[in-house]
Structure 1
Amino acid sequence: MNIERMDPMFKHSIWREQNAILYFSGTALSKLGDKFYIIAIPWLIYELTQSAASMGMMFLFQTLPFILVSPIAGVLADRFPRRTLLFACALLQGLLVAIIPILSILQVLQIWHIYFLGFIIASFGAVFSVVNATVVPQLFKKESLIKVNTTLQFIDTSSVLLGSMLAGILISKINVYNVLFLDAFSFFPIAVSILFLTFLSKEAPSKVTSNSWQQLRDGANFLLKHSILGPFTLLVLLANVANGALISMLIYFSREKLLLTSEEIGWVYAGAAVTQIIAIAIVNHLGNKGNHIRLMLNNIMISGLGIITVSFSWNWQTLLLAVAIQSAPVIMFNVLFKTMRQRLVPSYIFGRVNGIISMLGMGALPLAGFLTGIIAEAIDIRFIFFTLGFISFLVPLRFTKLTKLNVEEEERKVTVI
């Protein structure tokens, strides 16, 4: 029986490629472990300190590396073999996570150990994230990038649902330290799979003679001068001010204004995750068809409407709807923007460009959250959400001229080195 005749789509499926099987399976296990870590670390810190300030401090230590280290990671990605960087970062993250429960077994664990290890783990995570995003075009053909990125986004979104649920159950059954051991082991499958990946283009970046600072400037200049990526990076920075405010204050809003229970808040996140999966399926269906620039601008505008809707919600059902309206377009935008970068940036400078975009995008989130928390002490959080959502809706209107640009023409200018 000919399987390809029965299902013509299978003939062109990326799942026929060895790279896809290795890369996605390793990524799925790693992402699941990430969600264990995200739940386990705050749980552990609360058990040790019962302090909200300590949990906030940990958030700072876990966020700072993605702002400070990402540009450096971009330089590393363009200077050293990317396979080596990915393998080393995955292995080191796993080993460092395992140190936390080991210190507990030795009865010497203190809160500063978790802060310090958390910062180092996040630093290697920032390097891995930038290099990982940079290496995708070297593993898959250009025409497959939309499918690859939608699959990666599906894995990430699904791991939020499955990982959070499993982490909660496992913490109650086997304790938080054993959950951290499981997280540590989850890094090893992706580390091993990286060793067997086949690169479609030259694996090691070209040798460079300039210093690291000059390389970083080259990446920034490329981004600033690019007719499409430069404006979109600015748009991401502006949109993430509103998104950061919502993400950081959603639990506060849910409890303070809507008086929701933990179960109802869980339904809000679960419902939003389902709509995100639907959004991923839509992007996958669209593929390379249509005007992606127009779609991306519309996504930001719809997301702004979602934030406005949050400000008017009165129970968990209306909040679920509002968060779904806000988050699903963001997921679509992320997939399209990631694919656009992979198609428009030459391989020799891709790491630096990714690092700078990661720094700017991530940098807006904690700052927006911090300022929103301060302002919310004096101004009603509903008004803050409404104002930021309205601004987020209007901002893309200033970028409509981008719809006249031709992505395919820009892509033809790219020289793969």
Structure 2
Amino acid sequence: MINKNFSLLFIASVISTLGASMTYISLYWNYFEQTTVVSLTLLTTVTFLSGFIFSLFLSPFCDKYKPKNMMIFTMVMRTIILIIFGIGMLFLDIHIYFMIFMMVLLVALESLYDPSSVKIITNIVKKEEYTTANSWITILDRIGVLFGMLLGGIVIISLNLGTILLIEAGAFLIGVIILLQLKEKSAADDNKKEIERENYYLMWKEGIAYIIKTKWLIGVLLVAIAANLAITPSVTLLIPYTSEVLQGDSIHYSIIQISSILGSILMAYIISKIKLKLLVQSFLVAAILQSCIIMLLSMNSNILITIILIFLLGCFVALFNVPFVTLLQRHVPNYLLGRVRGGMIALSTGLSSLGYALSGIFTVQMGIRLTIFIYGLVGFIIIFSLVLFKPFSSISITNNQEKTVETDDKLFVQDKS
């Protein structure tokens, strides 16, 4: 798979993703059984907001230290945390509310792990293979979520939460052992810049300033916010949509969710095979098509058509995410990549979270169908308007496979062959 180092990264990520997904499902189910719906919502909110805050403010550390070292550190810390809470759940009387504290700690570590895992690819994979590598990581993530959810639902029946936490701790420990075998290379200039930037505030400020001052990054950020806003109903309203509009049950909901995962896996696999080159165009088309799918959902009441539409939505989400990550890896200086990745994720999810909060209110006032249509339409209008302003014309790249010619009006990509 590309090379030995990427294979090691892939295997370590598979193990950790499976364990994390299994624990996620088990924890939320256990928490729900012992508390109330309001408390479960609180856990979800705290987890989401923690991710936003940590991604925004911890990302400088991802550029200060080598990606491999940061990834190993986070996995070791997650192992220790899971062992402590796992033993506590088995032998001590730890209240379930302490799980919120554990989740916050794990989210903080994940906010360090994610930018580092994106950055390490630039050190172990050739530039022309970034897209393929990101596609396989997307496949891994979706498969891990799918099987993790299935395993989580199974093990929670026969095992208590403490045992499940210890199993995940073991998975992270195996991941650490595998990552230790990985060898990464880094550019001398980047290392020099990393060493020179020891002041946290200056590093953080530099990352945010780079995003704000870079025209194409602002374009990517605005498209990401609009795309997240457009697909909000598929996150917050899919259960009531399945129940009230489709007249379905939990089985139908599960099938619809799985269709989305399968769509993402298929598209990521296709991208890995064709070695996608038109990154900006694919990114924008995927964002527009996501909005169109949401608008079509609002007009539909057939379960089979819904499954097909959600499958396509999963495809377009993968077509959006892979170019998104690859654009950052190719065009952002390596010594800034961790901060830019963390900042982009934090800003896009943080600002679009307003749409999450308002979706329930809009549904009560206007109904599910109209709310879904409005979200899709607003997202479509914003993205289409951004395309007209051509914020990506400042991207310029020349490598062995492509030659970029930049004009005032548009970006042309010419194949040298």
CA distance in 1, matches of 2:198, 2:102: 33
Contact kept? 1:140, 1:200, Cα under 8 Å: no
Aligned-pair distance for 1:24?
0.6
Task: Give unmatched runs, 5+ long, in structure 1.
Answer: 1-12
Question: What secondary structure, in the 3-state scheme, does the structure 2 residue paired with 1:84 have?
Answer: helix
1:209, CA displacement in angstroms? 4.6
Q: Residues 289-333 of structure 1: CA distance to partner in whole angstroms, max 9, x if unpaired?
A: 3x3212211111110011112212314322212222323111111
* Stretch deviating more after TM superposition (128-137 or 194-203): 194-203
Q: What is the percent sequence identity of the aligned residues?
A: 22
Selected match of 2:64 from 72, 75, 79: 79
Query: Quick one: which amino acid aligns to residue 121 of structure 1?
Result: L
Alignment pair present for 1:58 and 2:52: no
CA distance in 1, matches of 2:181, 2:243: 48
Which consecutive residues of structure 2, in runs of 5 or more, have no partner in the other structure? Answer: 405-417
Alpha-carbon offset, residue 31 of structure 1: 0.8
Deviates more, 1:214-223 or 1:21-30: 214-223
Q: Which residue of 1 aligns with 2:22?
A: 36
Q: Which residue of 1 aligns with 2:295?
A: 308
Q: Are 2:256 and 1:272 equivalent residues in the alignment?
A: no
- Equivalent residue, structure 1, for 2:275: 287
Distance 2:393 2:336 in 1: 26
Asked if 2 retains the 8 angstrom alpha-carbon contact of 1:66 and 1:122, the reply is yes
Q: 2:87 aligns with which of 94, 102, 119?
A: 102
Q: Report the counterpart of residue 10 of structure 1 in structure 2.
A: none
TM superposition shift of 1:190:
2.2
Q: Deviation digits for residues 9-40 of structure 1, max 9, x if unmatched?
A: xxxx50xx220221110101111112102211
- Give per-residue Cα distances to partners, 1:334-372, cap 9 Å, x unaligned: 001101100101111111111110111221454322221
Per the alignment, in what secondary structure is the counterpart of residue 196 of structure 2?
coil
Q: How does 1:149-164 map to 2 (within 5 A)?
A: 149-164=134-149
Post-superposition offset of 1:210: 6.3
Match of 2:397 among 386, 408, 415: 408
Single out whichever of 399-408 and 364-373 deviates more from structure 2.
399-408
1:243 to 200, 219, 231: 231
- In the alignment, is the contact (CA less than 8 A) between 1:39 and 1:167 conserved in 2? yes
Q: Distance in 2 between matches of 1:408 and 1:341?
A: 12
CA distance in 2, matches of 1:209, 1:310: 49
Which residue pairs with 1:5 in the alignment?
Answer: none
Instruction: Supply the distance in 2 between the matched residues of 1:284 and 1:219 (Cα, whole angstroms).
Output: 30
Distance 1:180 1:255, change over 3 A: farther
Alpha-carbon offset, residue 404 of structure 1: 5.0
Query: Which stretch has the larger CA shift, 90-99 or 171-180?
Result: 171-180
How many positions carry a matched residue from both structures?
397
Question: Paired residue for 1:120?
Answer: 105
Partners of 1:249 and 1:101 in 2: CA distance:
34
Structure 2: distance between partners of 1:129 and 1:146: 17
Cα RMSD for the two superposed structures: 2.3
Residue of 213, 232, 237 corresponding to 1:225? 213
Counterpart amino acid of residue 232 in structure 2 = G
